[in-house]
Structure 1
């Protein structure tokens, strides 16, 4: 069977319990929204394939528990992440203030070249807003991240957020591969030709 993607990347969702990480992930990966809140236990993940610049990118998105008692478990996944999505709830100021703690953990445990964005979730709940968009933008700028306000409920900026962090990871990957192999496009062309040759070889073998 032909491979359904060209590259696999791992993304990690980080933020306090209750900020809507699971809802964001389900909205992005499955197009569904479930308002009932069940806290993630440990780590869960979902897969999604995006086409960026003609490249089929498979993203494995890890949804981590925000509770303190699971921190030892979830930190094991930092080392393998190529992209981080920090999430806070615009109606919950403490979740915004805690982004600094999550960023500190990433500095300590994640790879040096990990790509990061900041997302303020539940942007549809304007009457209960406790964190302004300007505050979110300023914090993202302080950490050198791009910033989105999003809503898992309405789907606003959900696809855009995940797509953007994937684009950043892909660009960083391209820079590394171009440096080592000359060109990512050439590398993918060679890989595709090899896959095609393997399929032809397998077909001839089956026909005998």
Structure 2
């Protein structure tokens, strides 16, 4: 990216079964809000957040997708161009955890990333505030180790460990962006600019 063009835009997708808390986690991270009123996502939701990652100003475009079958046809245009994918499940629902394999495969098929074997996936276990847990951290970490994903867990309701997975997703997405820019143009140039809202300190 050359001088004067502003922050790098990183596209990050959240997918997973309906009701696992994708919207809640995203809303907590971007707007610092949480509601107990459940509202199913109709198609897609979209938020953006400006921050600094590794000294580079970026705009995170965070796309929240509906987890119901009738909206899965939206996946093809939505998934394409993504730089990182967050696979979200509910730690109190083993079914939502077991569905991650299918969600991951669907993303790779419909999103058609340039290098599927090295595309960054981050697994996020939500609702750790609840006591009736069905998926242990050990079980989730083992699956991630076997599939090459990274694992985080937290609670959107209690605002526990919400930033960590998104910051890691931004780092992974930025690396993906740089890789594709180099492959397509043969060079990568970027100007660091301090954004209006940051969580990391720019030291450039």
Q: TM-score, normalised by structure 1?
A: 0.83
Between 1 and 2, higher relative CO (CA 8 Å, sep ≥ 6) is seen in 2
Give per-residue Cα distances to partners, 1:22-44, cap 9 Å, x unaligned: 00010011010111111000011
1:145 aligns with 2:149: yes
- 2:143 & 2:168 partners in 1: Cα distance? 18
Residue 121, structure 1, aligned to residue 123, structure 2 = no
Q: Which residues of 2 match residues 1-208 of structure 1 at below 5 A? A: 5-110=6-111, 111-113=113-115, 114-125=119-130, 127-178=131-182, 180-182=185-187, 184=188, 187-189=189-191
Alpha-carbon displacement from aligned partner over 1:76-118 (angstroms, at most 9, x marks no partner)? 2111211100000000110001001101101211213442100
The CA RMSD over aligned residues, in Å, is: 2.1
User: How many angstroms apart in 1 are the aligned matches of 2:145 and 2:88?
Assistant: 15
2:12, 2:161 → 1: CA distance? 17
- For the 8 Å contact 2:23–2:41, the answer to whether it is kept is yes
Are residues 150 and 4 of structure 1, via their aligned partners in 2, closer, same or farther at CA, if it must alter by over 3 Å?
A: farther
Contact 1:123 1:150 (C-alpha < 8 Å) held by counterparts: yes
Q: Residues 177-207 of structure 1, C-alpha deviation per residue, up to 9 Å, x if partnerless?
A: 456444x4xx224x98xxxxxxxxxxxxxxx
Unaligned runs of 5+ in 2: 194-204
DSSP-derived class of the 2:190 partner: helix
Q: Normalising by the residue count of structure 2, what TM-score does the alignment of the two structures yield?
A: 0.84
Q: SS in structure 1 opposite 2:80? A: helix
The 1-side partners of 2:37 and 2:173 are apart by: 32
Structure number with the higher helix fraction is 1
Separation in structure 2 between the aligned mates of residue 28 and residue 47 of structure 1, nearest angstrom: 10
How far apart in 2 are the matches of 1:106 and 1:78? Answer: 7
Larger radius of gyration: 1
